[in-house]
Amino acid sequence: MNHLAHPLILALSCLIFAACGSKTDKSGTDTSKDAPAKAAQKAPAKKADDFGALLRSPEKATHQAPKAFTVKLETTVGDILMDVTRSWSPMGVDRFYNLVKAGYYTDIAFFRVIPGFMAQVGISGDPSLNAIWHRTGIKDEPIAAGLSNTRGMVSYAKGGPNTRSTQFFINFGNNGNLDRMGFPPIAKIQDASMSIVDKIYSGYGECAPNGNGPSQGNIHREGTAYLKKNFQQLTYIKRATVIGQ
């Protein structure tokens, strides 16, 4: 299970055709003045990337992210904008970009929210997707110089070496102790969106069995049905989209 060590809690958490009339020379090459335009018309249109196909094919989630882009999280408490920088964690950002473009972060809950620490999200409400993505971890990366898990920074959660997959967290406070534990930030929440981040429901706290929050295992197996039945006040990401790059 992906987890983070809470600096104030001893127990660990539960744990991506030629036109008519053209002129030709002996070789058959079009030599008319508008030949370049005709050649362009003959060229096949570039096929758009089918990111939707990646949702159930993690092995195809290999698109390289832009150097920088903005993601909007439309949540049940308001919109959150985050600025993502690829150089901070290239593999982590590439994975995040592929997941957002594929529509993975749709109707999923912030299932672990601890005041003063962080808000964690990323387990799908669709158990079949969890089965596909659960063991698709990417390699660990070092923390880029000058970065730290301070308030508003976004990093991937993990459950051991090379296990960053789909879950990420937003830091509520200064969690610099996570830096040496191998949690490189991938993005920063825009300052104006932090008031929305602070509205993410935190009443359930830590995950079971160490707290009263949802069990990650049960979310993996039962998805949204389990959460809607037992944890009705959770905040959800309704949709995540790339809005600028």
Least confident window among 33-37, 89-93, 183-187, 230-234: 33-37
Is there a domain that residue 56 lies in? no
Is there a domain that residue 29 lies in? no
The total domain count for the chain is 1
Q: Is the pLDDT of residue 65 over 70?
A: yes
Is there a domain that residue 22 lies in? no
Q: Which residue has the tokens 């999923």?
A: 108
What backbone phi and psi angles, to 5 degrees, belong to 79?
Answer: -85, 140
* pLDDT tens string 16-64: 223 333 344 444 444 445 544 444 444 333 344 578 788 999 999 999 9
Is there a domain that residue 21 lies in? no
Q: Which residue has the tokens 């929050």?
A: 213
DSSP assignment of the chain:
--B---TT-SSPP----PPTT--B-TT--B-STTHHHHHHHHSPPPPPP-GGGGGG-GGG--PPPPSEEEEEEEETTEEEEEEEEGGG-HHHHHHHHHHHHHT-SSSEEEEEEETTTEEEE---SSHHHHHHHTT-PBPP-PPPTT----TTEEEE-BSSTT-B-S-EEEESS--GGGGGGT--EEEEE-GGGHHHHTTS--TT-SBTTTSSB--HHHHHHHTHHHHHHH-TT--EEEEEEEEE-
Residue numbers of the domain that contains 202:
67-244
Q: Which residue has the tokens 């290239």?
A: 90
Q: How much is the pLDDT for 9?
A: 39
Is there a domain that residue 167 lies in? yes
In the chain, the amino acid numbered 119 is A
Q: Is the pLDDT of residue 244 over 90?
A: no
Is there a domain that residue 32 lies in? no
Is there a domain that residue 236 lies in? yes
Average pLDDT, the chain: 85
| Structure-block tokens of residue 6 | 């809470």
Confidence of residue 236 (pLDDT cuts 50, 70, 90): very high
Q: Which of 202, 212, 154 is nearest to 14 (CA)?
A: 212
Confidence of residue 3 (pLDDT cuts 50, 70, 90): low
Is there a domain that residue 137 lies in? yes
71 alpha-carbon distance from chain centroid: 9
Q: What is the CATH number of the domain that holds 155?
A: 2.40.100.10
The rounded distance, in Å, linking the Cα atoms of 64 and 91 is 9
**What does the pLDDT average to over 109-118?**
97
pTM higher than the cut 0.75: yes
